[in-house]
Structure 1
């Protein structure tokens, strides 16, 4: 059977080809795409675009979907076929990509901004982890407040997960630029 070939946006290809970029959500891929692509796209439009591309890759058998249909915890992972596929990279697929994407070199100013965002996100992550740990300690001390503390704990954990995704995306972009 011949290896499948598929046209793909250059930025999406770069992100998906990263070895450690697997088991991702649509939002994680969108955030990484927006950071890397330097687009003028709104996050909602970028999410729709990324979702359409993920669906295309699922239909070709290159990505596998894990999670129930209406769940917010759906993740996608690369199939064996993904590693065998031939990707035909296209420079710009999204219509709102700015001219900045044609420049392959990222400026030192942009790298500094990314590093600053990374530091801020790491501090926010530590804060969020500390918050969730404190909710657990409060629950142990005050079990009668279980309902309120449990919902606060879950919100803090969700925030931690989002921040971790943000950190991974920024680190991925920085490591890609330093190659």
Structure 2
């Protein structure tokens, strides 16, 4: 016996449970708007369904006829022969106390790196000012200026890393 093919829960609801055939993207969207797990935003729902339809077309499970809004999608015999089951949705990890504490620690460190970056950028501006006002000191100041630039690059990378991590925790 073949292992069941796991497919997107939205497409499973459409093609298997509701047995939709010869449908448009908008008809599929409307059929699922009241179902849990689909965005209530019409545009997001349409895009979600359209992407899944394209995926199914590439797999050879759906065919299309027509163009533009008149395009209709039908199940192929290849899809009808499949044993399918819906993919299990990943459970979103709730923000627990530990995650919130980690977030606070990371945010504090990010703020410290931002403050350090502001200081280093101020130093860079001052080095540039000194080099412009006193060109005879350029040989002495230039290594300090370059070291400050490298430090600012490092701090900016760290700030970006922390912001990416904090953004992913928020989501």
TM-score, L = length of structure 1: 0.43
TM-score, L = length of structure 2: 0.45
- Choose 1 or 2 for highest CA Rg: 2
Q: With CA pairs under 8 Å and 6+ residues apart, which has the higher RCO, 1 or 2?
A: 1
